[in-house]
Amino acid sequence: MDEVKLQSNDRVDLGLFVLRAGLGLMFVFVHGSPKLIEGVSKWRALGSAFNRLLGISFAPAFWGFAAAISEFGGGLCLIAGIFFRPACALMLFTMAIAVGAIIRGGYGINGAAQPVELGIALLALFLAGPGRFTLPILLLKTKTPT
């Protein structure tokens, strides 16, 4: 049996894929889906953070829905490696709002640890890019010339 040897770049790409897929799955199933399923009352509550932090008081349900979609859709984009940097940027913005809302709510930086950590990971992914193991690259490789 032939031994598969991973090159240094392959390891980096594999590491990026594991990080992308793991975070993406968490965003889809733990963060985004529940917020989408809970509906308008949840979206209003989420969107009220915009008023507290940025003074944006109109359409809180819209802003909450946007946050839920950024987590759900952004998670899917992380997994697939598509629209990667825009997805990371939107999710990073969502995490920044979450950090501000948690701190402003009196829970301090310890209460905001999870969105801070997710934000750091998203910033690192934004800077590094998705790596080679993405859906578009996989589809290009499996396409056979006609």
Which residue type occupies 14?
L
CA distance 49 to 104: 9
Output the CA torsion sign for 120, 126, 131, 134.
Answer: positive
Question: What is the distance, to the nearest Å, from the Cα of residue 14 to the centroid of all Cα atoms in its chain?
Answer: 18
Angle between the N-to-C axes of helices 84-102 and 113-128, in degrees from 0 to 180, rounded to the nearest 10:
160
Does residue 4 sit within a domain?
no
In the chain, the number of structural domains is 1
Does residue 44 sit within a domain?
yes
- Contact partners, residue 31, CB within 8 Å, separation at least 6: 71, 72, 75
Q: What is the pLDDT of residues 85-115, one digit of tens each?
A: 999 999 999 999 999 999 998 899 999 999 9
pLDDT at 4: 59
Task: Provide the residue range defining the domain that includes 108.
Answer: 9-142
Q: Please give the structure tokens belonging to residue 141.
A: 């490789």
Q: What is the pLDDT of residues 24-78, one digit of tens each?
A: 999 999 999 999 999 999 999 999 888 888 888 889 999 999 999 999 999 999 9
Does residue 3 sit within a domain?
no
What pTM, to 2 d.p., does this model score? 0.87
Main-chain phi, psi angles of 58, to 5 degrees? -85, 145
